[in-house]
A = this chain, B = another copy of it.
Amino acid sequence: MSHNTFGHMFRVTTFGESHGVALGCVVDGCPSRIPLTADEIQRDLDRRRPGQSKYTTQRQEPDQVKILSGVMEHDGRQVTTGTPIALLIENTDQRSKDYSEIKDKFRPGHADFTYEAKYGLRDYRGGGRSSARETAARVAAGAVARKIIPDVTVRAALVQMGPHKIDRANWDWDEVGRNPFFCPDKAKAEFFADYLDDIRKNGSSIGAVVEVVAEGVPAGWGAPIYGKLDSDLAAALMSINAVKGVEIGAGFGAAELHGEDNADEMRSSSSNVGNDGPVFLSNHAGGILGGISTGQAVVARFAVKPTSSILTPRRTIDRSGADTDILTKGRHDPCVGIRAVPVGEAMMACVLADHFLRHRGQAGS
Protein backbone atom coordinates (compact mmCIF):
# COMPACT_ATOMS: atom_id res chain seq x y z
CA MET A 1 0.00 0.00 0.00
CA SER A 2 1.34 3.41 -0.80
CA HIS A 3 -1.14 6.16 -0.07
CA ASN A 4 1.56 8.52 1.04
CA THR A 5 4.73 6.61 0.25
CA PHE A 6 6.48 6.14 -3.05
CA GLY A 7 9.53 4.23 -4.15
CA HIS A 8 10.83 0.85 -3.14
CA MET A 9 14.47 0.86 -2.11
CA PHE A 10 14.59 4.66 -2.06
CA ARG A 11 11.33 5.34 -0.29
CA VAL A 12 9.71 8.65 0.46
CA THR A 13 6.78 9.10 2.86
CA THR A 14 5.31 12.58 3.00
CA PHE A 15 2.95 14.21 5.47
CA GLY A 16 1.38 17.55 6.18
CA GLU A 17 -1.34 19.90 5.07
CA SER A 18 -1.36 23.38 3.65
CA HIS A 19 -2.47 25.01 6.86
CA GLY A 20 -1.14 22.63 9.48
CA VAL A 21 1.84 23.07 11.75
CA ALA A 22 4.36 21.63 9.34
CA LEU A 23 4.89 19.34 6.41
CA GLY A 24 7.75 17.10 5.52
CA CYS A 25 8.91 13.66 4.60
CA VAL A 26 10.85 10.63 5.71
CA VAL A 27 13.40 9.40 3.19
CA ASP A 28 14.27 5.77 3.79
CA GLY A 29 16.83 3.51 2.14
CA CYS A 30 19.45 6.13 1.39
CA PRO A 31 22.95 4.63 1.31
CA SER A 32 25.29 5.70 4.09
CA ARG A 33 28.24 8.09 3.94
CA ILE A 34 26.70 10.38 1.34
CA PRO A 35 27.51 14.03 2.13
CA LEU A 36 24.25 15.87 2.81
CA THR A 37 23.50 19.25 4.31
CA ALA A 38 20.31 21.20 4.78
CA ASP A 39 21.77 23.89 2.53
CA GLU A 40 21.87 21.50 -0.41
CA ILE A 41 18.22 20.64 0.08
CA GLN A 42 17.36 24.29 0.59
CA ARG A 43 18.80 25.19 -2.78
CA ASP A 44 16.22 23.03 -4.54
CA LEU A 45 13.42 24.18 -2.26
CA ASP A 46 14.21 27.80 -3.02
CA ARG A 47 13.55 27.17 -6.68
CA ARG A 48 10.05 25.90 -5.90
CA ARG A 49 9.28 28.47 -3.21
CA PRO A 50 6.16 30.56 -3.70
CA GLY A 51 6.08 34.33 -3.73
CA GLN A 52 9.14 34.87 -5.86
CA SER A 53 7.45 36.60 -8.76
CA LYS A 54 4.04 37.97 -9.61
CA TYR A 55 3.44 34.81 -11.62
CA THR A 56 3.15 32.57 -8.59
CA THR A 57 1.08 32.62 -5.43
CA GLN A 58 1.87 35.51 -3.10
CA ARG A 59 1.84 33.27 -0.06
CA GLN A 60 5.12 33.96 1.72
CA GLU A 61 6.71 30.79 2.96
CA PRO A 62 10.43 30.63 3.68
CA ASP A 63 10.21 26.85 3.31
CA GLN A 64 13.21 26.38 5.56
CA VAL A 65 14.04 22.69 5.81
CA LYS A 66 15.36 21.04 8.95
CA ILE A 67 17.02 17.63 8.94
CA LEU A 68 15.66 15.82 11.99
CA SER A 69 17.49 12.53 11.64
CA GLY A 70 19.66 10.28 9.51
CA VAL A 71 22.83 12.37 9.26
CA MET A 72 25.92 12.79 11.41
CA GLU A 73 29.40 14.26 11.37
CA HIS A 74 31.90 11.78 9.97
CA ASP A 75 35.45 12.47 8.89
CA GLY A 76 34.82 16.19 9.04
CA ARG A 77 31.59 16.49 7.15
CA GLN A 78 27.94 15.74 7.58
CA VAL A 79 26.93 12.50 5.90
CA THR A 80 23.98 10.15 5.76
CA THR A 81 23.98 7.22 8.18
CA GLY A 82 21.84 4.81 6.16
CA THR A 83 18.89 5.33 8.52
CA PRO A 84 15.73 7.37 7.84
CA ILE A 85 16.24 11.01 6.95
CA ALA A 86 13.34 13.03 8.32
CA LEU A 87 12.91 16.47 6.77
CA LEU A 88 10.66 19.10 8.31
CA ILE A 89 9.31 22.32 6.82
CA GLU A 90 7.24 24.47 9.12
CA ASN A 91 4.29 26.41 7.80
CA THR A 92 4.51 30.06 8.76
CA ASP A 93 2.09 31.99 6.56
CA GLN A 94 -1.18 30.21 7.18
CA ARG A 95 -3.01 33.51 6.81
CA SER A 96 -6.02 33.57 9.06
CA LYS A 97 -8.86 34.17 6.71
CA ASP A 98 -12.52 33.58 6.43
CA TYR A 99 -13.08 30.07 5.14
CA SER A 100 -16.86 30.20 5.43
CA GLU A 101 -17.17 30.54 1.66
CA ILE A 102 -15.30 27.36 0.73
CA LYS A 103 -16.03 25.44 3.92
CA ASP A 104 -19.48 24.50 2.73
CA LYS A 105 -19.13 24.74 -1.03
CA PHE A 106 -17.29 22.41 -3.37
CA ARG A 107 -14.86 24.29 -5.59
CA PRO A 108 -15.05 23.00 -9.20
CA GLY A 109 -11.83 21.40 -10.36
CA HIS A 110 -10.63 20.91 -6.79
CA ALA A 111 -10.70 17.77 -4.68
CA ASP A 112 -13.27 19.24 -2.32
CA PHE A 113 -16.16 17.00 -3.32
CA THR A 114 -14.07 13.86 -3.67
CA TYR A 115 -12.42 14.21 -0.25
CA GLU A 116 -15.82 14.71 1.27
CA ALA A 117 -17.13 11.66 -0.60
CA LYS A 118 -14.24 9.52 0.58
CA TYR A 119 -13.59 10.71 4.10
CA GLY A 120 -16.86 12.32 5.17
CA LEU A 121 -14.93 15.52 5.87
CA ARG A 122 -12.18 17.59 4.35
CA ASP A 123 -9.61 20.08 5.47
CA TYR A 124 -11.00 23.10 3.68
CA ARG A 125 -8.13 25.35 4.73
CA GLY A 126 -6.04 25.87 1.62
CA GLY A 127 -6.76 22.47 0.14
CA GLY A 128 -5.46 20.53 3.11
CA ARG A 129 -3.45 17.54 2.03
CA SER A 130 -4.14 18.21 -1.67
CA SER A 131 -2.46 21.59 -1.54
CA ALA A 132 0.48 22.13 -3.83
CA ARG A 133 2.44 22.81 -0.65
CA GLU A 134 2.84 19.03 -0.34
CA THR A 135 5.20 19.22 -3.30
CA ALA A 136 7.78 21.00 -1.12
CA ALA A 137 8.33 17.63 0.56
CA ARG A 138 8.90 16.05 -2.84
CA VAL A 139 11.47 18.63 -3.78
CA ALA A 140 13.29 18.07 -0.49
CA ALA A 141 13.33 14.32 -1.10
CA GLY A 142 14.48 14.87 -4.64
CA ALA A 143 17.48 16.81 -3.39
CA VAL A 144 18.50 13.74 -1.39
CA ALA A 145 17.91 11.52 -4.40
CA ARG A 146 20.26 13.60 -6.53
CA LYS A 147 23.08 12.97 -4.08
CA ILE A 148 22.69 9.21 -4.57
CA ILE A 149 23.15 9.42 -8.32
CA PRO A 150 25.73 12.19 -8.70
CA ASP A 151 26.58 11.24 -12.28
CA VAL A 152 23.03 11.84 -13.38
CA THR A 153 21.85 15.36 -14.19
CA VAL A 154 18.12 15.90 -13.89
CA ARG A 155 16.72 19.10 -15.32
CA ALA A 156 13.26 20.27 -16.29
CA ALA A 157 11.78 23.12 -18.22
CA LEU A 158 8.42 24.57 -19.11
CA VAL A 159 7.91 23.85 -22.81
CA GLN A 160 4.33 24.97 -23.35
CA MET A 161 1.91 27.42 -21.77
CA GLY A 162 -1.63 27.33 -23.00
CA PRO A 163 -1.43 26.57 -26.72
CA HIS A 164 1.98 28.23 -27.01
CA LYS A 165 4.88 25.83 -27.39
CA ILE A 166 8.51 26.84 -27.22
CA ASP A 167 10.73 26.78 -30.27
CA ARG A 168 12.99 23.81 -29.59
CA ALA A 169 15.68 25.37 -31.80
CA ASN A 170 16.03 28.02 -29.10
CA TRP A 171 16.50 25.53 -26.24
CA ASP A 172 19.09 26.85 -23.82
CA TRP A 173 19.30 25.18 -20.42
CA ASP A 174 21.02 28.24 -19.00
CA GLU A 175 18.01 30.33 -19.89
CA VAL A 176 15.81 28.21 -17.59
CA GLY A 177 17.28 29.87 -14.51
CA ARG A 178 16.99 33.37 -15.88
CA ASN A 179 13.26 33.78 -16.31
CA PRO A 180 10.39 33.23 -13.87
CA PHE A 181 8.88 30.53 -16.07
CA PHE A 182 11.73 27.99 -16.10
CA CYS A 183 11.49 28.36 -19.88
CA PRO A 184 14.48 27.34 -22.02
CA ASP A 185 13.42 29.55 -24.94
CA LYS A 186 14.29 33.16 -24.20
CA ALA A 187 11.99 34.61 -26.81
CA LYS A 188 9.04 32.56 -25.66
CA ALA A 189 9.74 33.49 -22.04
CA GLU A 190 9.40 37.13 -22.98
CA PHE A 191 6.12 36.34 -24.68
CA PHE A 192 4.90 34.43 -21.61
CA ALA A 193 5.57 37.47 -19.41
CA ASP A 194 2.83 39.48 -21.08
CA TYR A 195 0.63 36.51 -21.86
CA LEU A 196 0.47 35.30 -18.29
CA ASP A 197 0.17 38.76 -16.85
CA ASP A 198 -3.00 39.26 -18.83
CA ILE A 199 -4.37 35.97 -17.63
CA ARG A 200 -3.49 36.83 -14.05
CA LYS A 201 -5.15 40.26 -14.26
CA ASN A 202 -8.27 38.67 -15.72
CA GLY A 203 -8.50 36.42 -12.67
CA SER A 204 -8.06 33.43 -14.92
CA SER A 205 -5.42 30.70 -15.14
CA ILE A 206 -3.78 28.57 -17.81
CA GLY A 207 -2.31 25.09 -18.27
CA ALA A 208 1.22 24.12 -19.22
CA VAL A 209 3.51 21.30 -20.29
CA VAL A 210 6.77 20.50 -18.49
CA GLU A 211 9.63 18.42 -19.87
CA VAL A 212 12.04 16.56 -17.61
CA VAL A 213 15.36 15.28 -18.92
CA ALA A 214 17.84 13.03 -17.11
CA GLU A 215 21.29 12.74 -18.61
CA GLY A 216 23.92 10.29 -17.50
CA VAL A 217 21.61 7.37 -16.77
CA PRO A 218 23.51 4.23 -17.78
CA ALA A 219 21.90 1.46 -19.77
CA GLY A 220 20.24 -1.18 -17.60
CA TRP A 221 18.19 0.63 -14.98
CA GLY A 222 14.53 -0.31 -14.74
CA ALA A 223 12.87 -3.66 -14.96
CA PRO A 224 10.45 -5.44 -17.24
CA ILE A 225 6.70 -5.39 -17.02
CA TYR A 226 5.46 -3.81 -13.75
CA GLY A 227 8.70 -2.32 -12.52
CA LYS A 228 9.33 -0.50 -15.79
CA LEU A 229 11.22 2.74 -15.46
CA ASP A 230 8.59 4.46 -17.60
CA SER A 231 5.76 2.94 -15.59
CA ASP A 232 7.26 4.27 -12.37
CA LEU A 233 7.91 7.66 -13.97
CA ALA A 234 4.31 7.79 -15.15
CA ALA A 235 3.04 7.10 -11.65
CA ALA A 236 5.43 9.58 -10.07
CA LEU A 237 4.68 12.43 -12.45
CA MET A 238 0.93 11.76 -12.55
CA SER A 239 0.92 11.97 -8.75
CA ILE A 240 1.91 15.66 -8.90
CA ASN A 241 -1.02 17.98 -8.28
CA ALA A 242 -2.94 19.03 -11.38
CA VAL A 243 -1.09 16.70 -13.76
CA LYS A 244 -3.40 15.11 -16.35
CA GLY A 245 -0.99 13.43 -18.77
CA VAL A 246 2.47 11.91 -18.95
CA GLU A 247 4.48 10.85 -21.96
CA ILE A 248 7.91 9.37 -22.57
CA GLY A 249 10.08 10.25 -25.57
CA ALA A 250 7.89 10.67 -28.65
CA GLY A 251 4.88 10.07 -26.41
CA PHE A 252 1.50 10.63 -28.00
CA GLY A 253 3.37 11.63 -31.14
CA ALA A 254 4.47 8.00 -31.49
CA ALA A 255 0.88 7.10 -32.29
CA GLU A 256 1.25 8.96 -35.57
CA LEU A 257 4.52 7.37 -36.62
CA HIS A 258 5.37 4.40 -38.80
CA GLY A 259 7.67 1.73 -37.41
CA GLU A 260 10.60 2.79 -39.54
CA ASP A 261 10.33 6.37 -38.29
CA ASN A 262 9.88 5.55 -34.65
CA ALA A 263 12.40 2.83 -33.79
CA ASP A 264 15.74 4.42 -32.95
CA GLU A 265 18.55 3.01 -35.09
CA MET A 266 21.93 2.20 -33.60
CA ARG A 267 25.53 2.55 -34.71
CA SER A 268 28.72 1.35 -33.13
CA SER A 269 30.80 3.81 -31.15
CA SER A 270 34.39 3.02 -30.49
CA SER A 271 34.59 6.24 -28.52
CA ASN A 272 31.66 5.37 -26.32
CA VAL A 273 32.84 5.71 -22.75
CA GLY A 274 31.56 3.69 -19.88
CA ASN A 275 28.94 1.24 -20.95
CA ASP A 276 30.03 0.06 -24.40
CA GLY A 277 26.57 0.86 -25.61
CA PRO A 278 25.57 1.81 -29.10
CA VAL A 279 25.15 5.32 -30.41
CA PHE A 280 21.45 5.81 -31.04
CA LEU A 281 20.61 7.90 -34.09
CA SER A 282 17.45 9.33 -32.54
CA ASN A 283 15.61 9.19 -29.21
CA HIS A 284 11.94 8.56 -29.84
CA ALA A 285 12.12 6.01 -27.06
CA GLY A 286 12.94 8.72 -24.54
CA GLY A 287 15.82 6.63 -23.28
CA ILE A 288 13.72 3.63 -22.28
CA LEU A 289 13.07 0.34 -24.12
CA GLY A 290 11.17 -2.52 -22.53
CA GLY A 291 11.10 -0.52 -19.30
CA ILE A 292 14.89 -0.42 -19.09
CA SER A 293 17.16 2.57 -19.70
CA THR A 294 19.10 2.62 -22.97
CA GLY A 295 21.91 4.95 -21.91
CA GLN A 296 20.37 7.87 -23.80
CA ALA A 297 18.77 10.80 -22.03
CA VAL A 298 15.57 9.82 -20.24
CA VAL A 299 12.91 12.25 -21.46
CA ALA A 300 9.43 12.67 -19.96
CA ARG A 301 6.77 15.33 -20.33
CA PHE A 302 3.70 16.04 -18.28
CA ALA A 303 0.65 18.22 -18.78
CA VAL A 304 -0.52 20.48 -15.96
CA LYS A 305 -4.09 21.67 -15.95
CA PRO A 306 -4.89 25.33 -15.21
CA THR A 307 -5.37 26.26 -11.55
CA SER A 308 -9.00 25.79 -10.65
CA SER A 309 -8.90 28.68 -8.18
CA ILE A 310 -9.98 31.61 -10.30
CA LEU A 311 -11.79 34.88 -9.78
CA THR A 312 -14.66 34.04 -12.14
CA PRO A 313 -17.86 32.83 -10.44
CA ARG A 314 -18.56 29.17 -11.13
CA ARG A 315 -21.60 26.96 -10.70
CA THR A 316 -21.41 24.36 -7.97
CA ILE A 317 -23.34 22.82 -5.07
CA ASP A 318 -22.91 23.16 -1.35
CA ARG A 319 -22.59 20.40 1.23
CA SER A 320 -26.37 20.26 1.59
CA GLY A 321 -26.60 19.49 -2.13
CA ALA A 322 -28.13 22.84 -3.11
CA ASP A 323 -27.08 24.79 -6.18
CA THR A 324 -24.87 27.79 -5.58
CA ASP A 325 -22.01 29.76 -7.11
CA ILE A 326 -18.44 30.13 -5.95
CA LEU A 327 -15.59 32.51 -6.67
CA THR A 328 -12.21 31.56 -5.27
CA LYS A 329 -10.37 34.49 -3.80
CA GLY A 330 -6.96 34.15 -2.29
CA ARG A 331 -3.35 33.72 -3.31
CA HIS A 332 -3.10 31.46 -6.33
CA ASP A 333 -0.76 30.59 -9.15
CA PRO A 334 -2.11 31.77 -12.51
CA CYS A 335 -0.07 28.95 -14.08
CA VAL A 336 0.65 26.26 -11.54
CA GLY A 337 2.69 24.49 -14.20
CA ILE A 338 5.55 26.89 -13.52
CA ARG A 339 6.23 25.73 -10.01
CA ALA A 340 5.72 22.14 -11.17
CA VAL A 341 9.08 22.35 -12.96
CA PRO A 342 11.31 21.71 -9.92
CA VAL A 343 8.74 19.19 -8.68
CA GLY A 344 9.03 17.23 -11.91
CA GLU A 345 12.80 17.19 -11.52
CA ALA A 346 12.45 15.91 -7.98
CA MET A 347 10.14 13.09 -8.96
CA MET A 348 12.45 12.02 -11.81
CA ALA A 349 15.42 12.09 -9.43
CA CYS A 350 13.59 9.98 -6.85
CA VAL A 351 12.51 7.38 -9.41
CA LEU A 352 16.03 7.14 -10.82
CA ALA A 353 17.66 6.84 -7.39
CA ASP A 354 15.19 4.08 -6.55
CA HIS A 355 15.93 2.20 -9.75
CA PHE A 356 19.67 2.64 -9.31
CA LEU A 357 19.46 0.91 -5.92
CA ARG A 358 17.05 -1.74 -7.20
CA HIS A 359 19.28 -2.47 -10.18
CA ARG A 360 22.35 -2.67 -7.98
CA GLY A 361 20.52 -5.11 -5.73
CA GLN A 362 19.51 -7.49 -8.49
CA ALA A 363 22.41 -7.04 -10.90
CA GLY A 364 25.25 -6.27 -8.52
CA SER A 365 26.55 -3.02 -9.96
Contacts and interface: CB of A to CB of B under 8 A. Distances in A.
A267 B114 contact: no
A255 B317 contact: no
Given A6-B226, A226-B2, A304 B108 contact: no
Contacts of A86: 15-16, 22, 24
Nearest to A210: B255
Contact of A111 (B206, B224, B360): B224
Given A121-B32, A220-B114, A231-B235, A109 B361 contact: no
Nearest to A312: B260
**This chain's copy number in the assembly:** 4
19 contacts: A14-B225, A15-B86, A16-B68, A20-B68, A29-B362, A68-B88, A79-B121, A84-B129, A110-B290, A114-B219, A130-B225, A162-B255, A228-B239, A231-B238, A258-B306, A262-B305, A267-B317, A268-B322, A357-B361
B303 A254 contact: yes
A307 B309 CA distance: 43
Interface stretch (A47-55, A170-178, A281-289): A281-289
Task: Name, among A70, A108, A220, the residue most crowded by chain B CB atoms within 10 Å (CB to CB).
Answer: A108
Task: Name, among A2, A111, A262, A362, the residue most crowded by chain B CB atoms within 10 Å (CB to CB).
Answer: A362
A312 B5 CA distance: 45
Contacts of A1: 1, 8-9, 11, 28-29, 227, 358
A308 interface: yes
B316 A278 contact: yes
Interface in A270-315: 275-278, 281, 284-286, 288-295, 303-310, 312, 314-315
A204 interface: yes
Nearest to A121: B74
A32 B363 contact: yes
Given A79-B121, A111-B290, A4 B226 contact: yes
A234 interface: yes
A134 to B, nearest CB: 6
A147 B258 CA distance: 38
Interface in A66-100: 66-70, 72, 74, 79, 81-86, 88
Interface stretch (A57-65, A149-157, A184-192, A244-252): A244-252
Contact of A259 (B9, B205, B223, B268): B205
A106 interface: yes
Contacts of A260: 204, 310, 312, 314
A230 interface: yes
Contacts of A108: 263-266
A218 B266 CA distance: 43
A248 B255 contact: no
A243 to B, nearest CB: 8
A359 B118 contact: yes
B3 A224 contact: yes
B5 A28 contact: yes
Contacts of A295: 117
Contacts of A265: 108, 314-316
